[in-house]
Structure 1
Amino acid sequence: MELETIKTLLEKYFEGETSVAEEKQLRNYFSNPDCAPELEPYKQMFGYFESEKDSVWESTLPYETKATAKTFFSLSKIGIAASLIFFAGVLSFFIITNQEKQKNTIASTDLGTFDNPEEAFLETQKALALVSQKLNQGLEGVTYINEYQKTTTLIFKN
């Protein structure tokens, strides 16, 4: 009977529903040497809780309350070096992009020049034919708008 009571108390304990008296009953049961073999792991757990409840944590971490001048100057040197590297990167980025822009403007000024007027005339005709073709494709879509306009005027007469 006592074993079943302890098992139900353990279930309540792990669900967080035990009272202080029930937890004391569990500690007393697991502190006795005549514990059931299937409950042996719980005996170790409750034994650990009992042995560690009075222990106090002692800090062994060294901590420094004041920053030394040496630490400050070494950190400031690192900050200065990092900012110089950053500005050098930004400066090189702008120089490279400016050089690329200059190359593009030089290349774009060479376009469209012909020595032979007949060759220039033929290239102009090709370009205007392409523009005309694309414009006609765009106007095909506009015809639907005209049909829509006609239909709306038939439906909504003033």
Structure 2
Amino acid sequence: MESNKVEQLLEAYFEGATTLLQEEQLRTYFKGSNVAPHLESYIGMFSAFALAKEETLDVPIQLPKQKKKINYRWLSGVAAVAVLAIGLAVQFINKDNDNEIFTTYASEEVAVQKTKQALGFMGKMFSESTAQLGTVKEFNTTTSSFFKQ
């Protein structure tokens, strides 16, 4: 093989652009006896590749046992069904007690009065909190005029 062609193949080989056939041509060239003197330094490299290709490992490889993975999606589905079943069971058990009204007051009039007081208190608190929103509105107009400039 010509020295120029071998140099081109070597350059392509080191760039990783050779085919398997071209690599085989390089191996056979460097195994032969008529290697160009300036390419003799590559003989050792290609002979080492040939030796490495013949080496084998006779010891069997033992892979560690893999732990069994738990399918959490399936497990979460089972948990959801269990919660649903418990919820439905509680509803059916308490179905008999739905007609009873549970109160903590002695009479309905007291309960109505306490409810009116609680709603009045909530209305008063709501009115006070909305009065404070005027300050927030003023803050918004101040910052918006600052950023417009």
TM-score, normalised by the number of residues in structure 1:
0.35
TM-score (norm 2): 0.36
